[in-house]
Structure 1
Amino acid sequence: MDRINTKPGFAFRAGQLMGTALLRCTALERRLTIWCVGGGMNPVLCRWVLRILKSGLIALVLYLSFWIAAVIFGLWLLRGMAELGLMSDFRSNDEVGFDTEGLFPDPYSQDNIHDPVFDHENL
């Protein structure tokens, strides 16, 4: 296979793009450092400020990418539920019901009037 005639793949192009972006960021950082030092800032302090800014930008990108991935995963999950028919039985006008008498029995009803559970003298 002749390497000269083959078209570069996605990984090669992505690597070139990342390398170009890194070179541009490094050049911008160098110009910003020269500008800050020319304005009277301590060079060590200038480097630390730029490092903190870079760390903050990296943290922001990671935070945003997490939430974008979470939204995409949620949409994928909802689509899968819709395809399986798990959401077809859901209707917005249906009410969820439960037995309120079994959950909160009335101690003064005729059914529970002689029940020792509701006898307050034993307390």
Structure 2
Amino acid sequence: MRFKIALIACASTIVMIGLPARAEDASSARGGEIAKTRCARCHALDEATASPYPGAYPFRKVLERWTSEDLKTALTTGIIASHPPQDETVHEMKLSPEEAADFIAYLQTLTPAPSPR
């Protein structure tokens, strides 16, 4: 009986340890969808390619310029940008706090952990 209880406890712990990773994967996947549908026209979304518009910062480098907290604040307040001279259109990006967290989770899949400043 003790063995069964110990086995159940171990199995439960293993399952619970895997849950945060799955939640992070789902969050970054949702953030990737936001990037694809709202940003891919201008920004590079992967680790290697150049942005379609030279003035648009590649997403793999965003967290080198912004802290996650500052980026979340900007995204939830609203960012207005254009990428002249190729694109004179003004783009507004405003996300909910949940969408901003998902978007940042996606960016973190592209960006190595920042070095201490």
More helix by share: 1
Both structures adopt the same fold (TM-score exceeding 0.5): no
Q: TM-score, normalised by structure 2?
A: 0.34
Bigger radius of gyration, 1 or 2?
Answer: 1
RCO comparison, higher one (Cα < 8 Å, 6+) = 2
